[in-house]
Structure formats: structure tokens, C-alpha cells
Amino acid sequence: MKKHETKHGFELIESREIKEIKTIAHRYKHLKSGAELIHYACEDNNKAFMVAFKTIPEDDTGCPHILEHSVLNGSKNFPSKNTFMELIKGSMNTFINAMTSSDTTMYPIASTNSKDFVNLMRVYMDAVFFPKIYTEPNILNQEGWHYELTSEDAELNYRGVVYNEMKGAFSSPESIISRKCMHAQFPDSPYGFESGGDPEAIPELSYGKFLDFHTKYYHPSNSKISLYGDLDADEAMALLDDEYLKHFSDPGQSISFPLQKPFGKPKHLEIDYPIDEQKDAAGQYYLALNWTYGSVTDTYLPLALDLLVEILMRTPASPLKKAIRESGLAQDSYATADNEILQPTISLVCKQVKQEDIEPLAKLIKSELKHLAKEGLDKKLVEAVLNSREFFLREAQIQRFPKGLYYIMSTTGAWQHGGDPLATLAFEPLLAEMRKGLTEPYFEKLIEDVLLNNKHASQILFKPVPGLIAVQDAKTTAKLKTMKAGMSKAEISELVKFNKDLTAWQEEIPTEEELEKIPLLSLEDMNPNASLYPVDVEKAVDYTLLKHEVVANGIVYLKAYFDLAHAEEVDLPWLRIYTYLVGWMNSQNYGFGERSNEIDTHTGGISLMLDMFNSYQDPDYIMPKFVIKAKAVKDKVGKMMELAAEFAMKPMFDDHERIKTLIRELKAKVEASMMHGGFQVAVTRMLSPMSQLHHWKDITGGLGFYHFLVDLAAKLDTGIDHVIEQLEAVKRTCFTKQNLIISITSDKEAIAVTLPQLGILLQPVANEVYEPVENHYALRNFNEGIYAPVQVQFCAKGGNFFRKGYSYSGKLLVLNSIISNNYLYQELRVKGGAYGAMSSFTPSGYQYFASYRDPNLPETLETYNTVADFLRSFSCSKREMDKYIIGEISNLDYPNTPEMLGTKADEDYITGFLAQDRQQIRDEVLSTKVEDIRAYADMVEAIMSKNHFAVFGSEAKVKDNATLFNGITPLFKTEGV
């Protein structure tokens, strides 16, 4: 096809080969509707599609975000209320979701199955252009917000899925800070509004404004459509034209995004943020520095800014990070480059600072930047950062995320704002430009222009306010109380009726006819055979070798699994601390910065992890291991081995001050992850009293570990000798040849090149043999309530079904989907207003039900008790059942990167999971019947009747329900107990 020729209403604007990603990109414009489309023609079988709209927030009500949720609740041709959930249940997708950024709403999908791909594309196009929101106001009530009043004398509340999702998002300090920084940098631009929705403002969104927003922004002329992969583009474009685009006319007025005028001088602001009521506010200040510069449409700038942040802050050799850390003025620090918004913005955040240290810290950062701009950056560091980025771009493997969507999404910023979308994908010229930084003061000039002489900048002091959440809550409660007091009797009963009607609407089951409109593959389309993971096992004198021959484009993936069966439980937290410290300590032959540069220059990354496996046959048999992970192109394998050994096994623990600083930093990081991951905290702590595995996970990465670090940090100054002793013991005793497993994943030829060089890695490995420790785990009956300054709950309940006489089966995967995507989704999210609901049945016999960002507590625990009754009377058509089965087969068949193939095969070997086990599970999934699901009612009832649960949530909710718990644990325990 030639330029300006048309097909299916699309005019070809240009075709460009992008060698870097083995693609030919064709850009089109749909003449009648004004839609733009890019088709990426390539051989990748994991096909991707996305339709995106520029959505400009006009206030803080979160209208773009609420609309993103709402359009997926039924449309003209697919009228079922839960279209999105139906697709989750029963499609072969490798990705399906929707997301709202500060200027764009995106609807991406991916699938390896051609028929499925077309189905998903059609459902998504229908949803965005013909949603049912115009005829069904209850969609906004449910997804956005509504007044909840269950009876005349009940309390008046706000409810809604996005309302609760955002209350959760506004619960973590880091999330609050990044939002407020953005608003501060853009006071007169739409970026100054909260596109996700500020819980305080969400209730101001009216139905009329909501519909207007859709009419204005969800028009094809404001849409960008992407098609990627080995697909029939002709068929796809015909469908897009015929069923959707040709029904719209381009109004000829494009929606532009207003610019923020730069400031006359940098701003200084002070903003409050909530901390725990009992927590001491001293030392809890945050300092944020923000700089806005240039435009996303600049070809080189967005990448250059990201690399600048990497150079300054993100590697062990980064000079600004080092200066902040060594000053001891902040417990942790990080920086981000938001380079996809119209006006790219860098933010630097210093965490947990004393008030009197704020100014010295700001001065230190400025003087360090001045120094770097004047004296120049270490060119070895610049080279290391550039090589590391180049490795990432060439490898082009992202775990569990379709490559095509990664490419499509990385074009969005430039495309939305009128730049060249394809420029970011053709990365050779970009890297060539960045390499100027090796010989010229390229990044130094950016430091001058962006960070030193830039007036569009702000310095924000975040001031901790103990109990601020309670104050906000009380304000909302009072407001609602006054509102109810001012309502007439008639108004009150009208509102109660409104709530009854809403619940009745939510409980309406979609008709068979509605459901059948959602296209479905048939079971016959499913491959009956489980995938095989190639492994070739060889026993060498010093280790077991696992070879995985795959197509890996010359990249070698190495893993070394060191057995830790001799580690006592009290040692485990130290093992985890060791893995954090090694990256930042000098080692026998290198300074830590120098070593980090060598690693980035020559390899694709080296890391050390503490991992826990359990035997498939005997799940109580747990195998903790140290895992060294490394990857490099085959010519660099020798260097990789040397650096991996150096990194993991030869650290020097002689710099006591740095060790103290790093332990405090680790504490700050784990604290942030607790505040972020309430769901994980609740599930792990619920299972800990009955599972050694979960108890160990807790003390090496969960709340138990956090509390260990709090105690340790408090006595660091007096107890540093003990710390050093522990770390030296780990180094001495944890890298031995005992049960050592080495795994290599690569092409045949690259494996052959790698094998003779293994000796370099093994050279420092000890020969000592240690007796394995016998761990006796005492089960406890303990229901725990955990509280923190958060505004939502995470409620987990579960147990062990092996102990109830049941065994693992593939049918549990189908059961799990039915419970979480059907019953819990309906009860906890649709009706309860929680953002999410999950369940799990693991091959080790553990089970949980859990809610995510949940406004409720006892009500949710009570819901779990009704699951058994739901199962007992469960019924569905053959088509419905096929849908659940297809969804689970899709999960089992998720396409693996070469690295993932190797990792899975290693896990199989270590846990004793055989190819026939995988086939058996698949057979069980494929043969699941309604009766099987019903038969599990007894099992679920037996587990629930043990009444074992844990909740992570707000202080008020947890304390109000104190009688439910055997113990209440504050997340922030008093330091130094």
C-alpha cells in the first residue's frame, strides 16, 4: 500500500521500518471519524491492542478514573453488567486491564489466540464507544460513589469502588507525596487536579458531568488505536471501521492540553500528611524537590531525563544518592522522572528527616549538584548506566507483561501531545545521542539547565501530623451527620429506597442471552497437553547442573541455588539483611561503586535473593535457599561469573557507619512496603500461626521482619559488633557446595561457552558440610488485628485444607475463579464497595479469602462464612463452566520469556514437581464439573468453621472490633523495645 492510499476508511500516512524491534509500523488516519491508528506488523505471536483517549481532568472528582471503570459495565452489543469480569473469567488473554494516568485513559489487551484477540478487541471498542452509562445511572453509583443508607436509623456513608480505591491510594505517604508534588508543579494546568479522584472531592461528581465527560473525550477523533503482532490487520481494520468508526464524524476540533506557565521563581511549600496518632512526629518530615523542564515531544529529552535520574540516584555508584546517604540527614531517598507527561518532571524525595535537618539537606543537595555540574560526572558511571539500558532494550523481555503492550504504552506520551510516537521505539539513534555523555558534558548540562538554573521548581516540606486521618474521618462523619439531620423524613425514606433499589439492581443476574453475547472460545480450542519445560540434569562432583536449552538470542541466564537447610530460624532475618547490604558494600577486589559500574557495563544485572521452596510431595518440608541471579551476553560470561562471586560472596563488612545507615534505610523501605501492601501483610500474618513457610516469609520480608528492623535500628550504635558477627557468619557458612544447584538457560552454543567458566563462580564456595536443622513448628490459634494510619481494611480468612483431609487438584483453580471472580467480587466489591476481592488455594494446602481496600470489617469476615452455602447451591450452564475452565487454561499457558522457562524448570526440579503432575493438574482443570464445585462446599465450610482470620486496617475500625481478635498489633511499634 502506498502513502495516501486508503483501505477500510483508513488513509496511510506513513510506513516506517523499526529494525530495533523487528517491526514495520504503519500509521493511518481514519478519514470519517478522525481516529488515528498505528499497526505494528511483526512476528510476535503475543498480539496486542489498545485504544487510548486524551482525558483532561477538570477537577478533583476523578471523573476520568470513574469513567474508566464504568464503561466496562456493559455496552450496546455486550449488555451484561460485568463484561470486564466475564472476560477475565473466560478468555485466553495474556493481558486485560484499563488504566487512567494524569492525561490519558488506556484500554489495553493482549492474546496469543487470534480468535480471542478479535473478541477482546470488539468488546473493548464497544465498551468505550457505546457504553450503557447513558441509560443506567447505577453504574456511576456503584463504580464512583453514592450515599449509603441501609435503613432509616443507620449512619449515612459514602460508598463506591473508586471512592474506596482512592481512599486506599491516599493511605500511603509515598503515594500522597507524589500526588501533591505533581499538583504543586502544575497549579494552573489540569495536572494540578487529581485524575484518580480525591476521596474528599469524589462526591461532588454529578451524573450530568460524568456523561458530558464521556461525550467530550470518548470520541474517535480523540482516540489513538494500536495493533501489534502477528495478526490479520486487514480483518481488524475492516472490523474497526465497519462496526465502530464509520458511525462517527470528525468534529474537526482537536483537544489540546494546556501548558503550565513556568514559575517566576522556585516555590517553597509546606503540606501536611498523616501519621499514626502515637507516632513521634520528630524525624518524620519528608523533603521533596521537583523540577519541570522541556516537552515530551522532544525526541531525546524524556530518555535523557530518565537516565539522568538513574545516574544521580539509582545505582550504588550514584553520587547524589551517596551524598544524601552519607550525610545521615535522611533515612532513605529516591527520585523519579515522569517523562510521559506533556512537561516532564523530576522529583527527588528524602524520607524521614528531622525538621531542623531540612534546610541543611536542601543545601547539601544543591551544592552536590553544583559540584557535579562543575567537576563532571564519573564517565565510568555514565557508561555503566548507558550499557545497562541498552541491555534492557535489546533483551526486550519483561516478566509477565506482553512486549507489544510495553512498546505501545511507551509511545503514548509523545503521541498524545503531538510528538513522533515511533521515535521512542527506534532506540539506536536515541542511544547514540546519549553516548555523547561519554565524551561531552551532556548530562552535566542537564544538571545545570534542569536542576540548578530552572525556575519551574519547588521545594516542599511534608509535615507529619499525628492522627490527621482521624481528623479527616471525623470531618466527613460530621458532614454526613449534619446532612442527615437536615433531611426530611420523606427524603430519608427515599434514600433508603434508593439503596434498596441499587442493591436489587446489583443482585440482578445477567440473563443467559446477555451472557451469550460475550464471545467465547470453545473447549475444543484448548490444547489438552501441558507445556514442557526443557531440563537436562547432570550431577557434577561439586554441584548439580540444570541445563535449559531455549532460544535466547545469545543471552546467558545463570542461577546458583545455595542450600540453607542448616540455617536456624533466628538466622533468617540476617540472611535477608545480608542480601540487601551486599550491593552497597565494598568487596575484596572492588569498591562498591566501581563494582556496580562493572556489573552494569558488562552484564544485564546480578542479584542475590533469599527464596523459600517447599516440596510438592511434602509441603511441610521447606527449603530456604540463597539464589545468585545473573545474566550477560555470551562473550561476557567469564566477567559475569567473576562479578557474581565478588558481589555475593566477598563483601567486606568493615565500614560500620555505612552498615548502620543501610540498615536504617532498609527499615524505611520495608515500612513503605508495609503501608503499600496491606493485603500481603494480612494474608501472611493470617497464615503465619499455622504455617512455617508463611511464618518464615513474615520474619524475612513481612511485618515480623519490619519489627525486627525497628528493634535492630534502635540498638545499632551499641550493638554494631553483634551485627558484624552475624553478617560474617552468613558469608562464611551460607555459600557451600552442599546440595548446590547451578542452572544455565540459553542457546545450545552459549551454554557450551558458559560451562567451562563455572569454576570462576565456584572458586570462593566452601567445602564445609553442615548438619541440617530440624525445625519444629508449633501451631497457634491466634487471630490478629493490625492497625496503621490507613483509611481502608484488608481482611483475610483461611486455613489448611490438607489438614481437613483434602488434597490438591486442578479443580481448585476453577473453584478459586468461581469464588473470587463471581461470589466475592459480587459481595465484597459490587455490594460492599471494596476495591478488590481475592482467594487462593495453594499446592501446599493453604487457602485464603481476602479483601482489598475494603471499607468493612466484620461484615466481610461474615461474608466469607457464606461461601460454602453459595457453593452448595452452585449451578451454571455448560457454557459458563467452559468459560471458567478456559480462563484457567489461559493462566496455565501464559507465554514464558526464556528466563521464566529456566526459572520454572528449576522450581520443578527443586520442589519435585513432575511433568505428569503438571499434566494431571491440566486434566483436572479441563474435566471440572458443576458437581465438583458443589462437593467443595464441605471443605470450605470446614476451614471457615475454624474461624481463623487476620485484618490489617485503620486504627478506629480495628479497635472498634477488638473483641474479634486475640491480639492487636500496631504496625508502628515503639522503637527499641
Q: Which of 550, 500, 392 is nearest to 152 (CA)?
A: 500
x/- map, 522-541, Zn ion, by CB under 5 A = --------------------
E strand or H helix at 837: strand 836-841
On the CB side of 546, how many CA atoms lie within 13 Å of its CA? Answer: 24
Nearest distance in Å: CB 148, Zn ion: 19
Q: Which is nearer to Zn ion, 67 or 675 (CB)?
A: 67
Q: CA 27 to CA 37: how far, in whole Å? A: 6
Name residues contacting Zn ion, limited to 163-222 (CB under 5 A). Answer: 165
**Cα 214–36–337 angle (5° rounding)?**
80
Q: CA 541 to CA 562: how far, in whole Å? A: 15
Q: CA 914 to CA 937: how far, in whole Å? A: 29
Name residues contacting Zn ion, limited to 878-937 (CB under 5 A). Answer: none
Q: Which is nearer to Zn ion, 176 or 480 (CB)?
A: 176
Nearest distance in Å: CB 143, Zn ion: 9
E strand or H helix at 851: strand 846-852
Nearest distance in Å: CB 855, Zn ion: 15
Length of the chain: 977
Name residues contacting Zn ion, limited to 841-870 (CB under 5 A). Answer: none
Q: Which is nearer to Zn ion, 369 or 790 (CB)?
A: 790
Name residues contacting Zn ion, limited to 138-167 (CB under 5 A). Answer: 165
Q: Which is nearer to Zn ion, 165 or 906 (CB)?
A: 165
What are the grid coordinates assigned to 407, written together?
512498546
Nearest distance in Å: CB 826, Zn ion: 18
Q: CA 322 to CA 329: how far, in whole Å? A: 12
Q: CA 799 to CA 783: how far, in whole Å? A: 12
Nearest distance in Å: CB 100, Zn ion: 7
Q: Which is nearer to Zn ion, 62 or 464 (CB)?
A: 62
Q: Which is nearer to Zn ion, 195 or 223 (CB)?
A: 195
Kindly determine how many residues on this chain lie close enough to bind Zn ion according to the rule CB under 5 A. 1
Q: How many CB atoms lie within 10 A of CB 390?
A: 16
x/- map, 448-467, Zn ion, by CB under 5 A = --------------------
Q: Which is nearer to Zn ion, 165 or 665 (CB)?
A: 165
CB 598, CB 643: distance < 8 Å? yes
Using the Cα atoms of residue 159, residue 163, residue 169 and residue 175 in order, give the sign of their dihedral: negative
Q: Which is nearer to Zn ion, 143 or 698 (CB)?
A: 143
Nearest distance in Å: CB 828, Zn ion: 15
Q: Which is nearer to Zn ion, 84 or 846 (CB)?
A: 84
Q: Which is nearer to Zn ion, 459 or 851 (CB)?
A: 851
Q: Which residues are registered as beta bridge partners of 336?
A: 347
Q: Which is nearer to Zn ion, 165 or 241 (CB)?
A: 165
Q: How many CB atoms lie within 10 A of CB 586?
A: 18
Nearest distance in Å: CB 821, Zn ion: 17
Nearest distance in Å: CB 165, Zn ion: 5
CB 847, CB 801: distance < 8 Å? yes
CB 602, CB 386: distance < 8 Å? no
Nearest distance in Å: CB 181, Zn ion: 21
x/- map, 690-729, Zn ion, by CB under 5 A = ----------------------------------------
Sheet holding 784-788: strands in order across?
836-841, 846-852, 794-800, 949-954, 784-788, 967-970
Nearest distance in Å: CB 193, Zn ion: 16
Nearest distance in Å: CB 101, Zn ion: 12
Q: Which is nearer to Zn ion, 165 or 955 (CB)?
A: 165
Nearest distance in Å: CB 68, Zn ion: 7
Q: CA 523 to CA 852: how far, in whole Å? A: 32
Given the DSSP bridges, would you call strands 836-841 and 967-970 parallel, antiparallel or unpaired? unpaired
Q: Which of 445, 443, 315 is nearest to 379 (CA)?
A: 443
DSSP string, 316-362: TT-HHHHHHHHHTSEEEEEEEEE-SSSS-EEEEEEEEE-GGGHHHHH
Residue partners of 796: CB distance under 8 A and separation at least 6: 679, 682, 683, 685, 686, 848, 849, 850, 851, 949, 950, 951
Q: Which is nearer to Zn ion, 163 or 808 (CB)?
A: 163
Nearest distance in Å: CB 69, Zn ion: 6
**Ramachandran quadrant class, 9 (left: phi over 0; alpha: psi -120 to 50; beta: rest):** left
Nearest distance in Å: CB 852, Zn ion: 11
What are the grid coordinates assigned to 202, written together?
469524589
Nearest distance in Å: CB 66, Zn ion: 8
Q: Which is nearer to Zn ion, 678 or 689 (CB)?
A: 678
Q: CA 567 to CA 624: how far, in whole Å? A: 8
Q: Which is nearer to Zn ion, 165 or 444 (CB)?
A: 165
What are the grid coordinates assigned to 544, written together?
548439580
Name residues contacting Zn ion, limited to 748-767 (CB under 5 A). Answer: none
Nearest distance in Å: CB 32, Zn ion: 33
Q: Which is nearer to Zn ion, 30 or 829 (CB)?
A: 829
Q: Which is nearer to Zn ion, 142 or 688 (CB)?
A: 142
Q: How many helices (H) and strands (E) does the chain have?
A: 38, 28
Q: Which residue sits closest to Zn ion, CB atoms considered?
A: 165
Name residues contacting Zn ion, limited to 101-130 (CB under 5 A). Answer: none
Nearest distance in Å: CB 55, Zn ion: 13
Q: Which of 144, 7, 175, 176 is nearest to 71 (CA)?
A: 144
Q: CA 794 to CA 118: how far, in whole Å? A: 37
CA distances from residue 673 to 169, 173, 469, 703 in whole angstroms, order as listed = 13, 11, 19, 10
Nearest distance in Å: CB 71, Zn ion: 12
Residue 84 gets which letter from DSSP?
H
DSSP string, 182-237: HHHH-TTSGGGS-TT--TTTGGG--HHHHHHHHHHHSSGGGEEEEEEESS-HHHHH
Q: Which is nearer to Zn ion, 83 or 847 (CB)?
A: 83
Residues that bind Zn ion (CB under 5 A): 165
